[in-house]
Amino acid sequence: MLPFTYSRASSADDAIAAVQKQQGAKFLGGGTNLVDLMKMGVEQPSALVEITRLPFADIEERAGGVRIGAMARNSAVANHPLIRERYPVLAQALLSGASPQIRNAATVGGNLLQRTRCFYFYDPSYRECNKRVPGSGCAAIQGYNRIHAVLGASDHCVATHPSDMAVGLAALDAKISVRGPQGERTIPFAEFYRLPGDTPHLETDLKAGEMITAIDLPAAAPGRSQYLKVRDRNSYAFALVSAAAVLNVDADRRILDARIALGGVAPKPWRIPAAEQALRGKPATDSTFSEAAEILVQGAKALRYNGFKVELARRTTVRALSSAAAG
Ligand code: SF4
């Protein structure tokens, strides 16, 4: 690990100024991903500015919805009555991720910004990784790519985004509030993550010096929801495929509204409006859900070892929607 300086910010403006002042400086939240990456030599910040004591940990009602401070711990959000009662899909997604110890330490702001778990990204002995070293190539494309993306990837990077929480937030139409040198702004969730294209090292819409201050959930949509995660073992494992489904079905079992987002298959939570449109007004049956699943995986491109994810994504979509419909 290379030497770095450490400071604890007492205000958001101080933190932003401190990160702006020193090239290579980073904000430090719970550290559950960043510190691991520093130990592996993947991240080499020149300075860490700890922000966990900034006043951004509240979870409160706001404008008919709920505002979650970026420093709120994953476990606090998952167990909060407002989240459990109004946004159960988010509580389910959070509780399916990591371990209780990690959820107690990790912040939701950090959860959004966690890095891919691509094996080659994590191991600097592999020289080819465009995300770690821009322009160096991608070892995963010809390598062991079982956990990699089948949607939204590029010839420069096929990594997936690892967050369960982000998949739930995508289905809930959350917004991300950020603060930076130019002031505050709000980013719709669908615009927060970038696809890799030829710049996979640029992962979000955040600009230099900007920090996440809150996640805003709109008023809870009527209906039921389900987060379904498929993985190699039943705990402490990342999703091979996951699905967050929010479904409103009338008394005749006709779908009034639907939202579906997939995880584990793409560089960001995968949501296709046409798939949701295909559900509206239709009967809540497996056949309807299959039509939506087919739209969600349109354009999927399998690598040597991850072809199974395409069919798994179809089946996970159908099962998550049918579980949500059944309540
Ligand atoms: Fe790096 Fe992305 Fe390729 Fe993994 S998939 S080796 S993160 S460029």
Task: Kindly state if the Cβ of 119 falls inside 6 Å of ligand 1.
Answer: no
Over residues 261-274, the pLDDT tens digits come to: 999 999 999 999 99
Over residues 155-178, the pLDDT tens digits come to: 999 999 999 999 999 999 999 999
Over residues 10-69, the pLDDT tens digits come to: 999 999 999 999 999 999 999 999 999 999 999 999 999 999 999 999 999 999 999 999
State mean pLDDT over 184-212: 98
Residue-level pLDDT at 239: 98
- Evaluate whether 1-52 and 224-326 have a shared fold: no
Q: Would you say residue 193 has pLDDT above 80? A: yes
Of the residues 145, 151, 157, 195, which should be mutated to test ligand 1's pocket, given the most ligand atoms within 8 Å of the CB? 157
Q: Would you say residue 1 has pLDDT above 80? A: no
Q: Would you say residue 291 has pLDDT above 80? A: yes
Of the residues 158, 160, 195, 202, which should be mutated to test ligand 1's pocket, given the most ligand atoms within 8 Å of the CB? 158
Q: What percent of the chain has pLDDT over 70?
A: 100
Classified as helix, coil or strand, 263 is strand
Task: Kindly state if the Cβ of 157 falls inside 6 Å of ligand 1.
Answer: yes
In the reported structure, the alpha carbon of residue 116 is separated from the centroid of ligand 1 by a whole-number distance in angstroms of 9
pTM summary value: 0.98
Query: Which residue is listed with tokens 């998949």?
Result: 167
Domain boundaries, the chain: 1-52, 224-326
C-alpha angle 270/243/289, rounded to 5°?
A: 95
Residue 156 belongs to what H/E stretch? none
Runs of H (alpha helix) within 130-285: 164-171, 189-192, 273-277
**Which class is domain 224-326?**
alpha beta
Would you identify the CATH topology of the domain 1-52? 3.30.43
Q: Would you say residue 280 has pLDDT above 80? A: yes
Over residues 296-305, the pLDDT tens digits come to: 999 999 999 9
Measured from the Cα of 132, ligand 1's closest atom is 1
Average pLDDT along the chain: 97
Residue-level pLDDT at 327: 82
Helix 308-326 / helix 286-296 crossing angle, nearest 10 deg: 140
CA distance 67 to 85: 15
